[in-house]
Amino acid sequence: MKILGIDTTTKSASCSILNENVYYTNSITNDITHSEKLLPIIHETLEKASLTLNDIDILAAINGPGSFTGIRIGLATVKAFAQVKEMNVFSISSIDLISYVAFKKSNCQEKYVLSLIDANNSRVYYGINKLSFKEGKIVIQKVLDVGNDLIEDVIKDLSSKYNLNDFIIAGNCIEKFSNILSQYNCTDLYPTTEDLIDCYLNIYDTDAYLYNAYNLDALYARPSQAERVANNG
């Protein structure tokens, strides 16, 4: 199977292709130029893999949360490919993908994972999943939908409802908020597009994450800046 995966939810636009069990990956760090650089990155990665878009069996994309502009650019590109080539898209949130990677690294048979993504200004995107195995595949069971709040409020609220000492807490802001998270089992990570493809191959309920060009949607987890300004006005 030949899979093309992209992520434009952060400052790094990334593309990976799996071809005959070999990964080919390219990335660039500058979210201002995602609209200019994404297609060239995809083209370069296809060339490295000696493939064309016609050879790809399925597309994969992280659908958010993160940069509003980046998410829109990435999903618009994937939707265009999916429509023209009549391909399915495996789409998953970075919150769920973080939990998948953290769980896989833990070597546990069952675990709760609190995923955290830096949203700037001491805020985080967050969500909780319970992960386990079924028939050799990983099951991602949503416990708490994706939210957005101040990190101090998130930990204070969740620690009153759950025993976070039994959780894995993972994300790209663990070191940044180490003064708040130091007492917990934490893993600093952010998933790659290779992790995205690996997730497609190894989760149990793949069909729950499959979309087409018409029903694929973004996960923003908070209003856009324009909406926030309008509401405050």
Q: Which residue ranges form the domains of the chain, and what is each CATH number?
A: 2-93+192-232 (3.30.420.40), 94-188 (3.30.420.200)
pLDDT of residue 228: 40
pLDDT of residue 233: 45
d(CA 101, CA 192): 10
Hey, which residues does 174 pair with through a beta bridge?
none
Q: Tell me if 98 sits within 8 A of 117, measured CB to CB.
A: yes
What separation in angstroms does the CA of 136 have from each of 35, 97, 109, 201? 39, 18, 11, 11
pLDDT of residue 224: 47
pLDDT of residue 29: 80
Tally of CB atoms within 10 A around 120 = 7
Provide the 8-state DSSP code for 209.
G
Q: Is this prediction's pTM over 0.85?
A: yes
Q: Tell me if 156 sits within 8 A of 183, measured CB to CB.
A: no
pLDDT of residue 226: 42
Tens digit of pLDDT at every position of the chain (233 positions): 999 999 999 888 999 999 999 999 999 886 556 767 899 999 999 999 999 999 999 999 999 998 888 899 999 999 999 999 999 999 999 999 999 999 999 999 999 999 999 999 999 999 999 999 999 999 999 999 999 999 999 999 999 999 999 999 999 999 999 999 999 999 999 999 999 999 999 999 999 999 999 999 999 976 544 444 445 54
pLDDT of residue 26: 95
pLDDT of residue 144: 97
